[in-house]
Every structure is written in C-alpha cells, then in structure tokens.
Amino acid sequence: MLQPNNPELVQKIENFVTGEGATATKLFDASKMKLHSEVRDMCAADKCNQYGKNWQCPPAIGDLQEWEERLRDWPIGLLIQLCWDLDNESDIDAMMVGSEKMKSIINKVATRFREERDDYLPLTAGSCSLCKTCTYPNEPCRYPELAIPSLESIGLLVSDVCKLAGLPYNNGPLTITFSSAILFKGEITN
C-alpha cells in the first residue's frame, strides 16, 4: 500500500497537472525503480543534444550511486503523462510542441508548489527547461532550489517506470506519449 506522508499535496499536484492538460496520472511504488548505466550511455551519446549542457543532466547531475541513495527518500511516485496527437508518424513539429507542453506542466508544478518543494521531487521529460538557456558550465544554476532533473538524466528507463505504474509507454499510431514523474516521501506497506 502506498502511504505518502503528505497525501493532500499528492492530490493537489495530481489535480493541478490534470488541469494543466496531463492526459493520465497514476501513483506507483517508486521504491522499485532501477537506475541503468545504459541510460547514462545514451545521454553520453548526446542524441538529445543536452549532454554537458545543463546542470540537471550528466555529467553535472551526479553519478548513479549518488542518485540511488537519494531516491531512497522518495519511495512514492506519481507518473504523469501527456498523450499528444500527430498528423503523421514523422510529425516533428507536433512532437516538439508536445514535448514543450509536457515540460511546461512540470515547470508549472515547480513554481506553483515552490513552498512545498521539500515534500516532492519532480522528474521532467528531457532536461531542465526552467531557463531559456541553462547557465552550465560558466555560471551557477539560476534556480538551484527549483531546478528539475529528468527521468532519463538520473538513469531511469522511462518504459520501465511506465510499466511499474501500469500505464502504457505509448498509446498507438499517430500519437506520442511523454512521461514525467513527481516523487514523494512516504511508506510502502503490505
């Protein structure tokens, strides 16, 4: 059984993201999440063009061992998805718009619930996008108390997290599904 320390906050955030356009949300046992060095290898291959360009991406974000320890404080997850329609399977423009929409939902959580930030850990899709251009590496992070790591940047395989939550990783032809998560403190009981 998932028992968040602050169930009211979980409900408020779930309601908020749904109001902002999230198409699915689901609580899940985040203590079962596994970090993968292969995901970090994909970051290092720099297919997303963010490796070494963002304080919340590798290598600045810290190693997997550090994150494994950190995640022990956050055993309850709320998976947040945005299923976005495409005109065709290579509709890059729609994919970009959907990606920005997903990031903006999580960014809005970080600003709307900034006073409660000690009670949740947001994990966005892609990379921290609170600033138009990240200050990495020349200046310190502009908003260290608000900055947002991503599922991928801490070594999570998004498809695994979706499976844990029991939500589909994708929703079929002519759609793309973006996934983010908010982690909470709490207990998992039988």
Per CB under 6 A, contacts with ligand SF4 among 69-128 are 128
Residue 9 CA to residue 20 CA, distance in Å, equals 16
Q: Which residue from 31, 21, 25, 72 is spatially nearest to 166, judged by alpha carbons?
A: 25
DSSP letters, 6-52, are: -HHHHHHHHHHHHHTT-SEEEEEEGGG--B-HHHHHHHHTTTTS-TT
Binding track over 135-154 against ligand SF4, x by CB under 6 A: xx----xxx---x-------
Establish if 55 lies at the interface with ligand SF4 (CB under 6 A).
yes
Least separation in angstroms between residue 53's CB and ligand SF4 is: 9
**Rounded to the nearest whole angstrom, what is the least distance from the CB of residue 150 to ligand SF4 in the complex?**
11
Q: Give the β-pairing of 175-184 and 24-29.
A: unpaired
Among 43, 61, 82, 134, binds ligand SF4 (CB under 6 A): 134
Position among 20, 131, 160, 175 found at the interface with ligand SF4 (CB under 6 A): 131
**What is the smallest separation between the CB atom of 43 and ligand SF4, expressed in angstroms?**
15
CB 149 within 8 A of CB 123: yes
Interface ranges with ligand SF4 (CB under 6 A): 54-56, 128, 130-131, 134-136, 141-143, 147
